[in-house]
Amino acid sequence: MSEETTHFGFEDVPAGEKQARVGAVFESVAGRYDLMNDLMSLGLHRGWKRFTTHIARVRPGARILDLAGGTGDLTARLAPRVGREGGVVLADISRPMLEHGRARLIDRGIAGNVHYVRSDAERLPFPDRGFDRVLIGFGLRNVTNRGCALAETYRVLRPAGMLLVLEFSHLTVPALRRAYDLYSFSVLPALGRIVAGDAGSYRYLAESIRRHPDQEALLAAMREAGFERCGYHNLAGGIVAVHKGYRL
């Protein structure tokens, strides 16, 4: 693959096209995104997000960036923990996802210490060393240049700050791979068609998971971006992994 191309699911596309294509996917599914998350994961995504925010060890007064935060599930858990003295920035490149997330959080009474920013993960509009934690939940695989996005998260973290990446990964139980593939490429698009009226977007999401680097490759990419004390936790047999690293 040349420097001028990247992947959009299983398709190789000009790098300049991916952002618009990803934007179209999330514009299409924003209204049903949360319902589809529950259906696709049988509700397990809630536990994965709970675990991620738990190991973030967020304290009152902290400044948090929820990057590619979509409809705000992580922000909903983080905002009460940082309190009025701290703050959470919910950033996403998709305006419909941000708007949906803002409405959800306000409906839950979460306001005052949450700010909403439409932002490209590869060009963050934030000063150096401004955040104690950066969390990316199910968003890193959608960026065009993963290395650039990781470098930006490193830049905006304070010394001793932590990056947490919650993302679909690679199964560690070979016996489950056939069933997982059947579910990913047959059941998910069918659910997308029935519930969200969009099979193609969920086919892309399944394909993007397969193109995402495995646990060790993502670990290496984080180290290359400058992160230290890196590690990861496999969840659900490696279907999902939580990677963490520090700016020291």
Is 210 a domain residue? yes
Q: What is the reported pLDDT for 1?
A: 43
- What is the model's pTM? 0.94
39-94 pLDDT tens trace: 999 999 999 999 999 999 999 999 999 999 999 999 999 999 999 999 999 999 99
Q: What is the reported pLDDT for 2?
A: 46
Q: What is the CATH number of the domain that holds 231?
A: 3.40.50.150
Q: What is the reported pLDDT for 132?
A: 98
Across the range 170-183, mean pLDDT stands at 93
Nearest Cα neighbor of 131 from 164, 175, 171, 98 is 164
Is 132 a domain residue? yes
CA torsion sign, 237 to 210 to 37 to 132? positive
| Predicted confidence band of residue 4 (pLDDT cuts 50, 70, 90) | confident
- Neighbouring C-alpha atoms within 13 Å toward the C-beta of 3: 1
Nearest Cα neighbor of 165 from 130, 205, 212, 207 is 212
Q: What is the reported pLDDT for 3?
A: 56
Is 225 a domain residue? yes
Is 7 a domain residue? no
Q: What is the reported pLDDT for 213?
A: 95
Asked if the model's pLDDT at residue 131 lies above 90, the reply is yes
Distance CA(114)–CA(75), nearest Å, equals 8
Is 41 a domain residue? yes
CB count within 10 Å of CB 27 equals: 14
Domain with 97, as residue range(s), is 19-247
Is 11 a domain residue? no
Is 241 a domain residue? yes
222-234 pLDDT tens trace: 999 999 999 999 9
The structure tokens listed for 72 are 């705000």
Asked if the model's pLDDT at residue 103 lies above 50, the reply is yes
| Count of the separate structural domains present in the chain | 1
132-156 pLDDT tens trace: 999 999 999 999 999 999 999 999 9
The structure tokens listed for 47 are 């536990």
Is 221 a domain residue? yes
Place of tokens 């199910």: 138
Q: What percent of the chain has pLDDT over 70?
A: 99
Q: What is the reported pLDDT for 214?
A: 96
